[in-house]
Amino acid sequence: MPNNTKNKYLMKVSVITVVRNNQATIAHAINSVLYQDYKNIEYIVIDGNSDDGTVEIIQSYGEQISKVISEPDNGIYDAMNKGLNLATGDIIGLLNSDDFYNNNQVISRIVQEFKSQKVDLLFGDIVFVNPHKLHQIIRYYSSANFHPDRFSSGWMPAHPSCFLKRHIYEKYGYYRTDYQLAADYELLLRLIKVNKISYSYLSQVLVKMRPGGASNRNFRCRWIANQEIIKACTEHGVKTNILKLLARYPTKIFEKVLIYSPRKIPQIEVNQSHQLYA
């Protein structure tokens, strides 16, 4: 997304997508960034040396994508850190290759909120959708009730909805690559609980996700993620235990039940341009 003279007066937003062998949905993720109505977006795609046609799809967008790297990496967090190293935006967000923005005004709304709230971090809500019927919501993840004390129970703001000031990464560090599945939890714990950065909650669905994230793929992945959460809490002086972490799972079931009670769910913003990529 090349900039011009007019755009230099706008706050720059860097969006990073990391991907490996995901030719089925990568174009959807890319389009949801390119169709944003905000005009000063630096879009960075980090590919982990895909061999299934993903690279060819990425290359087909040419200069619409600001920066592309395709090379082997040491996992998803290493790839994210590569993107962070390349980012020059005032604000940075990450969009997974299976995910897409809820509408074409998400980045504009984020910039507006940063200007009015004067905070370091913004986050909102996300929804999980049926991968075969993208308008069918199967789980609603609200960040509305987040509080730093909830880290000890394994709760954090919805990571895909997070947008951070670049100088916060530069001051406090990137994702820890010694974590397999919970480096996002460790990062947010380190920033919010330990270093007490300022944050604000935006009561909107920002991202739609297909289910199947690495930390929730199966029982083994959930167990590893919980052990890493305990590790992060121990390192940062937060008291927790495995029973406390497991107690949050009934609430996740409740999030799925809520989708059948529309009056309890905040209205999801949709506009005509959304139909282009959903």
Q: Domain for residue 81, yes or no?
A: yes
Does 141 map to a domain?
yes
In a domain, 1, yes or no: no
Backbone angles phi, psi at 60, to 5 degrees: -65, -15
Q: What is the mean pLDDT of the chain?
A: 89
The conformation of residue 217, written as its DSSP 8-state character, comes to S
In a domain, 151, yes or no: yes
In a domain, 193, yes or no: yes
Place of tokens 């000063």: 40
240 within some domain: yes
Q: Is residue 109 part of a domain?
A: yes
pLDDT of 198 reads 98
- pLDDT for the residue numbered 217: 58
Residues 208-257: pLDDT tens digits? 999 876 655 567 888 999 999 999 999 999 999 999 998 887 665 555 54
For the chain, the domain total comes to: 1
CATH number of 140's domain: 3.90.550.10
Read off the pLDDT band of 24 (50, 70, 90): very high
Give 139's DSSP letter. E
pLDDT at residue 76, as a whole number: 96
| Domain range for 50 | 6-276
Question: Considering the domain boundaries, does residue 105 fall inside one?
Answer: yes
Q: Which of 215, 204, 202 is nearest to 252 (CA)?
A: 215
Coarse DSSP helix, strand, coil percentages of the chain, rounded to the nearest 5 percent: 40, 20, 35
